Amino acid sequence: MSIRRRLTLLLLAGAAALSLIGWLLVRDVVERAAQETQDGILGAATRAVADEMRGGVEGVEIDIPFMAFSILGAAGEDRIFYRVTVGGETVTGYGDLPLPDDAATLAPRFLSTPFRGEAVRVAVIDRTLLAGGRSVPVRVALAQGNRSRDALAARLSNRAAVVGFGFFLMAAALAVLTARSVTRPVRHLADSVARRGPDDLRPVDRPVPTELAPLVAALNGFMARLDAGADRTETFIAEAAHHIRTPLSALRARAEIALRGADEATRAHLRDILRLTDGTARTAGQLLDHAAVVHRSDQRGGSAEIDLARLADDVVRAARPLAELRDIRLTLDVPGPVILHGDRVPLEAALRNLIDNAVKYSPDESEVHVTLRPGATLTVEDRGRGLSDPPEALMRRFARGANAGDVLGTGLGLSIVETAAAALGGTLTLTPRDGGGTCATLSLPS
Amino acid sequence: MRHALSALLILWSAAAAAQSAFEIEEERLFDAPGTAVVRIVSTTDTDLFAPIVTAFQAANPEIDVHYTTAATTEVHRAVESGAAFDLAISSAMDLQMKLANDGLALPAPGPADWPRLARWRDEVWAFAQEPVVAAFAPRAFEGMLPRTRSDLIDALRRDPERFQGKVGTYDPNRSGAGYLFATQDARQSDTSWRLAEVMGGLDPRLYASTAAMLRDLREGRILVAYNLLGSYATADGFAGVEMLDFTHVLLRTALVPRSAPAPDLGRAFLRFLLSPEGQAAVAATGLPPIDADALTRAPHLRPIRLDAGLLVYVDPLVRGRFLREWTEAVRQP
C-alpha cells in the first residue's frame, strides 16, 4: 500500500473518530443541559404547588396554582401528571404515579420513570405542615413527559451532527492535501531516480527532506560502490587482456620462427598453435571492447561529432588483411559523410565486431558488403552460415549460435554491438538474407 | 347524490345509559347506503351539527354516521369509561385536555399548518372557535349597552331594583362549559369576582345551558345573560356583546378515543372537519371556523389556551374549592 494512501486513510480515520467523539460529547452535554432545563422548570413548578399548601385547623388546604401547570404546558406539548399525598394518603392527582422512597425536603428530588406509556420526569418535594394541631407530612409530586425535552436534545444534537460531519469533510480534504504534500518529495525522488537510464550511476544531488536524507545517502553510496566496482572490473579486464595479448604476441612470433625450420608434421602443429593464438588474441580484444563499451555506456561518456562514413572506412580497411587471407571480398559503399553525435569508442567497437563477425563466419572466397545509408543505417551482408537461433538469443553475452561449429569465438561480438547500439540510442537487427547468409542492420539516430 | 336522513330519534334515552355509566341526550343515525359506521359522541346539538354530517357523507357516501349528544361531563365520562365511540366532540376544553393528557386519545394526524393554538399534539384538534359573550335586553340599558365588565358592574349597581332577579349566567356546578368560563374569568382578572359578587347581590338565575338562558332572555324573564356562546346568541337573534376588557374564545375540540372501535373512521371524520370543505360546512352552521388571524386582529379576544394548564381546574380539590368560593360569592345570604 502506498504511503500516501496509508497516510490519507489514517488521517481520515482519525478525523472520523474525532468527529464522532466530538458529536458524542456534544450530544451528552446537550442531553444534560436539556435535562437540567427540564428539571429547573419542573422543580420550580413543584415548589410553586408545594408553597400553596397550607396547614389549617381542619386539615391541609390544597390549591394548585394555574401558572404552575400552564408554564409546564407552555414549554411544549408534554403530558403532565401530579400527585399530592398527606400523611401517606393520596389526596388528589394520579394515585399510581411512582414516587422516590427517600424524602426530599429542601430541594426537589427527581426521578425518571415510565408512566402511562410515556417516559416522564417526576419532581418531588416533601413538606411538613401543622394541620389540626399536629404536624403532617405532605408530598407534592409533579411529572412532565419527556417529549419536548427529547425533541430539544434531538434538534441540538442533530445540528451538532451536521457540524461534526462538516468538520469531518474539511478534515478529509485536509487529509488528502496533507498526504499529497508529505509524499511529494518521495514521489519526486522516485521519479528522478526512475527517469535515469539503468546504467546512470551519478549520485542524487536534489534537496530532500531530512527523513529521506539517510536513504539518499545510502543510495548514493551504493551507486558509488557500484560505479567503482564497474571501473575496477573494466580496469581488470583491460589489464588482463593486455597481459594475455603481450605473451601471445611473443608466442606467435616464436611459433612463426619455428615454422620456418620445422618438418611437415611439426608445421601442422605449429599452424594450429598460430590459429589458436590468433583466436585467443581476438578474444582478449573482444573482452577489452566489451569492457570499454559497457563502461562507456554506464558513464554516458563523451559526445563528439563523428563521420560514420570515415569510421566505417577505417574499420573496413583494418579488417581487409584478415579477409584477404581467406580470399573474402570486403566492400564498402558509402553515400558521403554521415555525421552523428555520440561516443566514438563504442561506435568503433560496434562496427569492428560487426564486420569481423561477418568475415569470420563467411566461407572462403565469398563477399561481405558493408553499406552505409544516409540517416545513419549501416548494413553488413554476408553469405555465412545464417541464423540458427533467434537474434535476441544471439545478442546475449557469451551466447553462440548452434551452427558456430569450429569457428573460434567468445559469444561476445553481437553482445558488444547491441550494448553499443543501445548506448548510442540505436538498434541492432539481424535478418536472414535471401540466398543464404545474414544481414545485420545497425540503425543509429543521426 | 343526496341520501335520506333516517332519523332515529330517542330523546333522553335512558336505555343508552345501560351501555355504560353515562347519560346521553339524543341519538341519531345518519344512514347512508354505507358499509361502515362512524360513532360520534358530541356536546353539539344534533340539529346544529346535521349539515356538517351531510357534507361529510356527500364526500364519503359509504360511511353511516351515528351521532350521540350528551352533556360535557357525560362525554368525558363516556370516553373515560371506554365507551365505543370513534370521535369525541366537546366544548369542554379542560375535560378534552384531561382525556388526552391521560393517554385516552389516539394520535390523529391533521393539517400540518393548523394553528398551534387550535391543537394539542396530534391528539386534540379544535374545529370551531366561539367568543364567550354577554347578551342584553336593549330596553334595560336605554341604548347604552355595556362594553366592559366594569360598565356592566356600574349599570347593575346604578339600578339594582331593575335587575333584581333579572340577571342570568351559567351555573358552573351543573354545566361543564359554565365551569370553564367561570374559571377562566377568575384566572383572567379580579373584575370577574367583583361581577360575581354584584350579580350575587341581585339574586341571579343560574342556567345549565345557553339555550335556556336565551329563552328566558327572549321571554323577558332576564335582562342580562352573562357568559354564553356567541353562535347561539346570534342564531337566536341577539347580538352577542364581546366584552372589550377581555372576551374568552372557546375552542370546540375533537379527539379520537383510545377505545374507538373504528379509529380510522374517527380520523377520517376529523380530517374532514379540519379540511377546507369541512370548515366551510362548520361556518355554514353558524359556528365560527378556526381563524387564527381573527384572534390577532381583535386584541380583546383571548383564546382559552389548549394546554396542560387546563388540567388544574379538572382537579377535584381545586374544583371543589373554586365552586365553593364561587357559590359563596353568588349565593349571598
Q: Which amino acid is at B316?
A: P
pLDDT given for residue A302 in this prediction: 58
* pLDDT of A142 above 90: yes
For B94-115, the DSSP string reads HHHHHHHHTT-EE-----TTS-
**Element containing residue A249 per DSSP (H, E):** helix A213-260
| CB distance B118 to B294 below 8 Å | no
Judge: B103–A117 Cβ closer than 8 Å, yes or no.
Answer: yes
Which residue has better confidence, A273 or B274?
A: B274
Query: Buried b / exposed e across B50-87, counting CB within 10 Å, b at 16+?
Result: bebbbbbbeebeebbbbbbbbbbbbbbbbbbeebebbb
Phi first, then psi, for residue A26 (nearest 5°) are: -60, -40
CATH topology of domain B15-129+251-303: D-Maltodextrin-Binding Protein; domain 2 (3.40.190)
Average pLDDT over residues B73-84: 93
pTM of the model: 0.68
pLDDT given for residue B9 in this prediction: 36
Phi-psi map region of A94: left, alpha, beta (phi>0 left; psi -120 to 50 alpha): beta
pLDDT tens figures, A413-428: 888 888 888 888 888 8
Residue of A69, A91, A92 with shortest CB distance to B308: A69
Judged by average pLDDT, the poorest of A291-300, A352-361, A363-372, B307-316 is A291-300
Residue whose entry in the numeric block shows the C-alpha cell 332515529: B8
pLDDT given for residue A227 in this prediction: 80
Domain A302-446 coded CATH 3.20.20.80: no
pLDDT confidence band for A141 (50 / 70 / 90): very high
* pLDDT of B8 above 60: no
Strand partners, A140: A84, A125
CA A219/CA B197 separation, integer angstroms: 109
- CB burial of residue A178 (10 Å; 0-12, 13-18, 19+): middle
| Contact residues for A24 (Cβ-Cβ < 8 A; gap 6+) | none
| CB distance B67 to B24 below 8 Å | no
pLDDT given for residue A301 in this prediction: 53
How many percent of chain A have pLDDT more than 70? Answer: 97
Residue A66 distance to chain B (closest CA, Å) = 6
Q: Sketch the domain layout of chain B as residue ranges.
A: 15-129+251-303, 130-248+312-330
pLDDT confidence band for B333 (50 / 70 / 90): low
Residue A24 distance to chain B (closest CA, Å) = 30
* pLDDT of A129 above 60: yes
Residue of A62, A69, A77 with shortest CB distance to B120: A77
pLDDT confidence band for A235 (50 / 70 / 90): confident
Residue B210 distance to chain A (closest CA, Å) = 27
For A116-155, the DSSP string reads TTEEEEEEEEEEEEEETTEEEEEEEEEEEESHHHHHHHHH
Length of chain B: 333
* pLDDT of A375 above 50: yes
Residue of A64, A74, A117 with shortest CB distance to B315: A64
Average predicted confidence (pLDDT) for chain B = 88
Which residues of chain B form beta strands (DSSP E)? 26-30, 36-42, 63-69, 87-90, 105-106, 119-120, 124-136, 167-170, 205-207, 224-229, 247-257, 301-303
Residues of A with CB below 8 A from B102's CB? 79, 116
Q: Which amino acid is at B297?
A: R
Q: Sketch the domain layout of chain A as residue ranges.
A: 3-155, 198-300, 302-446
- Max mean pLDDT among A57-66, A107-116, A294-303 falls in A107-116
Length of chain A: 446
Judge: A65–B312 Cβ closer than 8 Å, yes or no.
Answer: yes
Average pLDDT over residues A189-210: 80
Judge: B315–A78 Cβ closer than 8 Å, yes or no.
Answer: no
What dihedral do alpha carbons B128, B134, B137, B142 form, nearest 10°?
A: -130
Residues of A with CB below 8 A from B310's CB? 69, 73
pLDDT tens figures, A208-233: 888 888 988 998 898 888 888 877 87
Judge: A118–B103 Cβ closer than 8 Å, yes or no.
Answer: yes
Average pLDDT over residues A311-315: 89
Looking only at the bridges linking them, the beta strands covering A329-333 and A109-115 are: unpaired
| Contact residues for B288 (Cβ-Cβ < 8 A; gap 6+) | B128, B129, B130, B131, B230, B231, B294
pLDDT given for residue B14 in this prediction: 38
CA-nearest of B91, B87, B128 to B108 is B87
* Interface membership of B102 toward A (CB under 8 Å): yes
pLDDT given for residue A299 in this prediction: 59
* pLDDT of B12 above 80: no
pLDDT given for residue A243 in this prediction: 84
Which residue has better confidence, A343 or A155?
A: A155
Judge: A66–B312 Cβ closer than 8 Å, yes or no.
Answer: yes
Residue of B103, B121, B317 with shortest CB distance to A77: B121
Could you tell me which chain A residue has the CA closest to the CA of B119? A77
* Interface membership of B320 toward A (CB under 8 Å): no
Mutate to test the interface with B, among A58, A69, A91, A121 (most CBs of B within 10 A): A69
CA B120/CA B103 separation, integer angstroms: 12
pLDDT given for residue A298 in this prediction: 62
pLDDT tens figures, B119-174: 999 999 999 999 999 999 888 887 688 999 999 999 999 989 999 999 999 999 98
Residues of A with CB below 8 A from B309's CB? 66-67, 69-70, 73-74
CATH topology of domain B130-248+312-330: D-Maltodextrin-Binding Protein; domain 2 (3.40.190)
* Interface membership of B324 toward A (CB under 8 Å): no
